Amino acid sequence: MDFQDTIEFLTKFRWVYDFPLTFFIGLRVWEQMPHEVEADRCSTYVPKSTYVPRSSRDPQPSKAAFPLHVLQWLDVLTKASIKELNNIPFGKFSPEWPMTLKDFITQVVSLPINRDLSLNLESIELKSSHKKGMSPKKIHEVSFMSGVVHKLCVKNKCVDVIDVGSGLVRIHWKYRRLCSMEFQGYLSIALSEQFGYNMLGLESVQSRSHGASDRASTHSSAFSAVEFELADTEESHASFSELIRSHSAKNNWCMMGLHCCGDLTPTMLRVFVQSPNIRCLAVLSCCYHRMSYTQFPMSEKLQKDMSAGQWAASTFALRLAAQETRTRWQNQNYDQHEYHSKNVAFRSLVELSGLKLDKRHRKIARPSHFTSFEVYLDNLLQRTKLPEEDVDCCRNILQDLYKQHEECLSYVEPFTCLQVAIQPVLESLIIQDRLMFLREQPGIYAEVVPIFDENISPRNLAILAWKEAM
Ligand SMILES: C[S@@+](CC[C@H](N)C(=O)[O-])C[C@H]1O[C@@H](n2cnc3c(N)ncnc32)[C@H](O)[C@@H]1O
């Protein structure tokens, strides 16, 4: 596995992702879009808006034919149709587009891991009693992940499975006494009832609930839930070993986790490597931006390549890696694009105005507030509860800013398109680093498999690992 091309690419296109989106207008990020050297432009690209037909009187393109060359990518992208924009992250481009843009588009499809649902997976049909209370997305995830975990367990002779970050633990109190505990471990229920695995769910968060919940009682499966925060420390590793020993005297455990956020996946990988009793692992991650800086990169190989390429992952890069993938972008219609561009542009104008919004007001706007900037302003100023005398002043400042920057609205979607295109490159790098970390350990085999349909569940890349037979 070679990371150098990806590092080089991410360094070159840092301007696409390395900034807070609310600074979009303030930083004038679109001005960083490349323009091509004149020779290339003459041979490959003439902006449609300024195209001057060649005639016998004027055989060479004049300088005047390229007045917009500084904004060349932007010129092409703002003129692209919705269909063209939606298809860019899938490697489609028009032959007359700038060479550098075509190279960018070619690389965003060649660098990432393939995420088409693997064809040789067996999903399980969940019983209708299991499906109760589950969303279609959860049903899809549980059906496929159960099949994958079952196959892994059979191959590695495991009958005990530990589900880390299994879901909310509910604690029921009666007269200030702990009365019972249950967890919403859909996967654990499926694996224990459909295949007979002995399940142990680990969850760090408790939610207190006084009402009796019927989920646990309607299923008679062999699972237990434990409140336990898995951490990357010696004490935690020791308590974890003790915990699994006390749950089963057998030696072969499978460790799994679905939507393991932040540090949880790196921690699970390290625990897996260090625990002889855990024979195999299946994990899917999310929320990479919640990871501590010490957890990325994990592999020696990427550490070396990153320091050689002088590239480091910022919070913005990790946040983009955790965002929607290109499949949802592909189906966006005009209204959705328009709503998104207004959302980004209006928030960016508020940021530029210096108006400070506290946390309660940041997400105040609803779709209906974006019909026009006036409507947005009315709602914003109403809810921020500024003193009467400041409201008019603030309104004037924001209206002036809107007039000055109105054209930026049309730059948001072209820029977002580049971000959507780069998202799989960033996510793949994080996952390949984890894969490489496992492969760097003696006696461990690992692979990445897309186990969900990306349209249904975008974080669909599972890391599967197992140890050499003892
Ligand atoms: C995104 S949720 C996924 C829940 C469940 N696996 C699912 O797919 O529905 C991640 C869960 O992991 C738990 N979690 C996060 N870090 C943890 C840790 N270090 N140890 C145990 N649980 C953790 C969180 O409390 C949360 O419930």
DSSP assignment of 398-412 equals: HHHHHHHHGGGHHHH
Question: What is this structure's pTM?
Answer: 0.87
- Cα angle vertex 376, ends 374, 379, to 5°? 110
At residue 227, the pLDDT reads: 87
Backbone angles phi, psi at 433, to 5 degrees: -65, -45
233 lines ligand 1 (CB under 6 A): no
Give the β-pairing of 223-227 and 198-203. parallel
On the 0-12 / 13-18 / 19+ scale of CB atoms within 10 A, 85 is buried
At residue 179, the pLDDT reads: 60
Domain-located, residue 173: no
* Residue range 29-48: mean pLDDT, rounded: 61
**pLDDT above 90 (res 389):** no
What whole-number distance in Å separates Cα of residue 406 and Cα of residue 402? 5
Domain count, the chain: 1
112 lines ligand 1 (CB under 6 A): no
* Residue range 211-228: mean pLDDT, rounded: 58
Most ligand 1 atoms within 8 A of CB, residue of 166, 202, 451 to mutate? 166
Length of the chain: 470
Q: What crossing angle do the helices spanning 300-309 and 4-12 adopt, rounded to 10°?
A: 40
- Do residues 264 and 165 make contact, with C-beta atoms less than 8 angstroms apart? yes
* Residue range 192-196: mean pLDDT, rounded: 89
- Do residues 297 and 306 make contact, with C-beta atoms less than 8 angstroms apart? yes
* Residue range 229-239: mean pLDDT, rounded: 93
- Do residues 227 and 220 make contact, with C-beta atoms less than 8 angstroms apart? no
243 lines ligand 1 (CB under 6 A): no
Give nearest CA residue, ligand 1 atom 16: 264
Task: Locate the DSSP E strands across 271-408.
Answer: 278-286
* Residue range 236-253: mean pLDDT, rounded: 89
259 lines ligand 1 (CB under 6 A): yes
- Do residues 82 and 337 make contact, with C-beta atoms less than 8 angstroms apart? yes
Give distance in angstroms: CA of 327 to centre of ligand 1: 26
* Residue range 309-337: mean pLDDT, rounded: 95
How is residue 59 annotated by DSSP?
A: -
Higher pLDDT, 419 or 166: 419
Domain-located, residue 188: no
258 lines ligand 1 (CB under 6 A): yes
**pLDDT above 50 (res 287):** yes
At residue 380, the pLDDT reads: 87
Domain-located, residue 190: no
**pLDDT above 50 (res 310):** yes
284 lines ligand 1 (CB under 6 A): no
What whole-number distance in Å separates Cα of residue 21 and Cα of residue 351? 10
Give nearest CA residue, ligand 1 atom 25: 205
Which amino acid is located at 166 in the chain? S
At residue 247, the pLDDT reads: 87
At residue 360, the pLDDT reads: 61
230 lines ligand 1 (CB under 6 A): yes
Q: How far apart are the first and last CA of the chain?
A: 27
> By percentage, how much of the chain surpasses pLDDT 70?
84
- Do residues 451 and 49 make contact, with C-beta atoms less than 8 angstroms apart? no
Domain-located, residue 63: yes
Most ligand 1 atoms within 8 A of CB, residue of 142, 259, 283, 456 to mutate? 259
205 lines ligand 1 (CB under 6 A): yes
Label residue 345 by pLDDT band (50, 70, 90). Answer: very high
Domain-located, residue 373: yes
At residue 175, the pLDDT reads: 65
Label residue 299 by pLDDT band (50, 70, 90). Answer: very high
88-115 tens-digit pLDDT: 999 999 999 999 999 999 999 999 999 9
Backbone angles phi, psi at 139, to 5 degrees: -60, -45
* Residue range 161-169: mean pLDDT, rounded: 84
Handedness of CA 392, 395, 401, 402 (dihedral sign): negative
Domain-located, residue 191: no
* Residue range 458-465: mean pLDDT, rounded: 97
253-280 tens-digit pLDDT: 999 999 999 999 999 999 999 999 999 9
Task: Locate the DSSP E strands across 396-456.
Answer: 444-450
**pLDDT above 70 (res 221):** no
- Do residues 244 and 262 make contact, with C-beta atoms less than 8 angstroms apart? no
261 lines ligand 1 (CB under 6 A): yes
Label residue 311 by pLDDT band (50, 70, 90). Answer: very high
Domain-located, residue 220: no
At residue 237, the pLDDT reads: 92
Query: If you compute the radius of gyration of the chain from its CA atoms, what whole number of angstroms results?
Result: 26
- Indicate the average pLDDT of the chain: 85
Domain-located, residue 135: yes
Backbone angles phi, psi at 182, to 5 degrees: -145, 160
The parent domain of residue 315 ranges over: 1-158+252-470
> By percentage, how much of the chain surpasses pLDDT 90?
64
